[in-house]
Structure 1
Amino acid sequence: MATYKELLAKKQELDAEIENARQVEAQYALNQIRETIATFGFTPEDVFGVRRKGKAPNRAPQFRNPETGETWGGRGPHPRWLKGKDPEEFRIKS
């Protein structure tokens, strides 16, 4: 039966072999991908799809705390300063 140190040495050798094989196969796959893209003229959007837009654009503030000037756009949870109060009292008049 192999000793602990012998097994660790074998493991290190296998880990190195695995990494080398991964690099060789990854490079081969990348070359195939590049060749296919060049052959068919794919664009980044073809390959990766169209990126979705990030967060929704900032909305103009709809409500203002007269004491602090803090504003709220009207979406999401109510701010603490508005809890238990009628939001219409704090609506910003346009």
Structure 2
Amino acid sequence: MASYKQLTTQLEKLHKEVAAAREKEIAQAIAEIKQKVAEYDLTAEELGFTVKRAPARKPALAAKYRNPKTGETWSGRGRSPAWLAGKNRERFRIDA
């Protein structure tokens, strides 16, 4: 009967063999798939894969207020900038 140490050594060897066989078979499968894709000129959509696209960005809002000292602008949305704090916003409004 084999000892624990001998069995663990065999097990490690088998794990390595399994990993090597898997890598070899995956490489072969990928090569076959690439060949078929090229042969039939297949696209990802035809194979059922969805192409993820970046979501469209919303266009920037037009500026409604401008700081005359720095030229900094604010669209009127979100938190108001520090340069408008405690001041009459209408003085800084951009006439469009």
Q: Taking structure 2 as the reference length, what is the TM-score of the superposition?
A: 0.50
Instruction: Quote the RMSD (CA, aligned, Å).
Output: 4.1
Counterpart of 1:26? 26
Structure 1 spans left out of the alignment, 5+ residues: none
Residues 63 and 74 of structure 2 are in contact (CA less than 8 Å); yes or no, is this contact kept in structure 1?
yes
Percent identical residues? 28
Matched, 1:37 2:37: yes
Corresponding residue for residue 81 of structure 2:
81
| Partner in structure 2 of residue 62 of structure 1 | 63
| Structure label with greater radius of gyration | 2
Question: What is the Cα deviation at residue 24 of structure 1?
Answer: 1.1
Q: How much does 1:72 deviate?
A: 4.7
The answer to whether the 8 Å contact 1:61/1:92 transfers is no
Give the TM-score normalised by structure 1: 0.51
Distance in 2 between the 1:50 and 1:80 partners? Answer: 39
Query: Of residues 1, 4, 8 in structure 2, which corresponds to 1:2?
Result: 4
Does the CA contact (< 8 Å) of 1:63 and 1:73 recur in 2?
Answer: yes
Q: Which amino acid counterpart does residue 52 of structure 1 have in structure 2?
A: R
